[in-house]
């Protein structure tokens, strides 16, 4: 590991503590994959170890001029097969900002291919920052705009981050493996938002699953760049995949970046369990239990009762009826009666 006041090197990952508006440290035509989430310019908190704060409320013209300087540099140091994943979302006060940011990349020469939707939270799984109140719905997704440098040179391998077929009869019909393209909708759970007991050191880090998935989907990549590095998650993903990574961060939290690159580089992408498979597994498990002698244990704590109530609610929504389900329902009814009696006696 090499450190100085201007850079940090951990194995094959290099961080420059400076603006990415000039990236003369990297040779022209080097970078194969770019993943970044730029400042959103809506008053988020970005500050360095020395408490130097970034002005995240620039005049719009100045903000887009800065972004264009960075995107132009990214284009210069990218190889012809380069793929650029640009993550940004909208808020209540900045509707349409994401589209303007995407346009700013196109204006300097990047070619837009498609919009990938990153779902941070769905049906209670994953986290997001509640902000809707009684005026709007909460934002639970963000854009990942996909750009390339040369249409004839770039390549993607979506099955590298593929999901299993729900219908196994499709194996062999569309390919030899039990993997299908996940589509342009990625469900990567957002990690817990900053709160009284959770301190990220940065106001808007993305989970490592996002850069990991993006990098893994680009075949034969060697060099990765994040021009707005933040906590260092992109380089942790690059390190995990054995690629060289470069990051630029003008307002660094050095210890946080170092810890992120080292600790999160053990990450491995897990193949998701498909919802139809969850449903089949539950039904199969119930069938197995039907043929065995099983008694429902006593519900000793409030947590036990809540878990059983959730289980019954799931069964009902799946239209599952069985002996085991009836046993659980009766156990809950008896438990509720006993609790009501105890409350009456205490009074």
Most confident of 125-139, 195-209, 321-335: 321-335
Q: Containing domain of residue 335, as a range?
A: 275-346
Same domain? For 112 and 260 the reply is yes
Same domain? For 178 and 95 the reply is yes
Same domain? For 261 and 283 the reply is no
Same domain? For 46 and 156 the reply is yes
As for how many domains the chain has, the answer is 2
Tens-place pLDDT, residues 128-144: 666 667 878 888 899 99
Same domain? For 107 and 176 the reply is yes
Same domain? For 249 and 284 the reply is no
Same domain? For 130 and 78 the reply is yes
Domain boundary among 233, 249, 266: 266
Tens-place pLDDT, residues 31-63: 999 999 998 877 666 555 666 666 667 889 999
Task: Please tell me the pTM assigned to this model.
Answer: 0.81
Domain boundary among 206, 240, 266: 266
Same domain? For 313 and 252 the reply is no
3-class secondary structure per residue, the chain: CEECCCEEEECCEEEECCCCCCCCCCCCCCEEEEEECCCCCCCCCCECCCCCECCCCCCHHHHHHHHHHHHHHHHHHEEEEEEEEEEECCCCCCCCHHHHHHHHHHHCCCEEEEEEEEECEECCEECCCCCCCCCCCCCCEEEEEEEECCCCCCCCCHHHHCECCCCHHHCCCCCCCCCECCCCEEECCCCCCCCCCCCCCCCCCCCCHHHHHHHHCCCCCCEEEECCCCCCHHHHHHHHCCCEEEEECCCCCHHHHHHHHHHHHHCCCCCCCCHHHHHHHHHHHHHHHHCCCCCCCCCCCHHHHHHHHHHHHHHHHCCCCCHHHHHHHHHHHHHHHHHHHHHHHHC
CATH number for the domain that contains residue 223: 3.40.50.150
Domain boundary among 229, 248, 266: 266
């Amino acid at each position: 590991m090499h450190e100085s006041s201007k850079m940090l090197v951990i194995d094959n990952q290099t961080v420059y503590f400076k603006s990415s508006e000039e990236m003369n440290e990297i040779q022209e035509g080097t970078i194969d994959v770019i993943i970044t989430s730029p400042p959103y310019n809506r008053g988020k908190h970005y500050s360095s170890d020395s408490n130097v704060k970034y002005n995240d409320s620039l005049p719009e013209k100045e903000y887009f001029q800065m972004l264009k300087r960075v995107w132009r540099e990214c284009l210069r140091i990218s190889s012809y097969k380069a793929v650029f994943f640009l993550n940004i979302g909208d808020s209540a006060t900045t509707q349409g900002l994401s589209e303007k940011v995407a346009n700013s990349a196109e204006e300097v020469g990047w070619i837009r291919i498609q919009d990938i939707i990153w779902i941070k939270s769905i049906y209670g799984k994953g986290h997001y920052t509640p902000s809707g109140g009684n005026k709007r719905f909460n934002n639970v997704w963000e854009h990942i705009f996909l750009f390339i440098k040369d249409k004839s040179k770039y390549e993607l391998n979506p099955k590298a981050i593929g999901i299993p077929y729900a219908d196994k009869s499709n194996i062999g019909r569309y390919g030899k493996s039990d993997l299908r393209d996940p589509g342009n909708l990625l469900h990567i759970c957002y990690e817990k938002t900053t709160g009284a007991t959770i301190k990220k050191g940065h106001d808007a880090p993305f989970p490592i699953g996002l850069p990991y998935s993006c990098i893994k989907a680009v075949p034969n990549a060697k060099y990765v760049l994040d021009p707005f590095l933040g906590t260092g998650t992109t380089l942790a993903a690059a390190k995990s995949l054995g690629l060289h990574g470069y990051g630029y961060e003008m307002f660094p939290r050095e210890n946080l970046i170092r810890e992120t690159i080292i600790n999160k580089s053990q990450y491995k992408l897990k193949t998701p369990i498909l919802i139809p498979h969850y449903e089949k597994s539950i039904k199969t498990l119930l069938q197995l239990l039907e043929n065995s002698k099983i008694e429902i244990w006593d519900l000793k704590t409030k947590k036990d009762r809540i878990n059983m109530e959730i289980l019954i609610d799931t069964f009902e929504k799946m239209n599952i009826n069985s002996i085991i389900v009836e046993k659980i329902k009766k156990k809950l009814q008896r438990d509720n009666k006993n609790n009501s009696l105890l409350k009456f006696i205490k009074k």
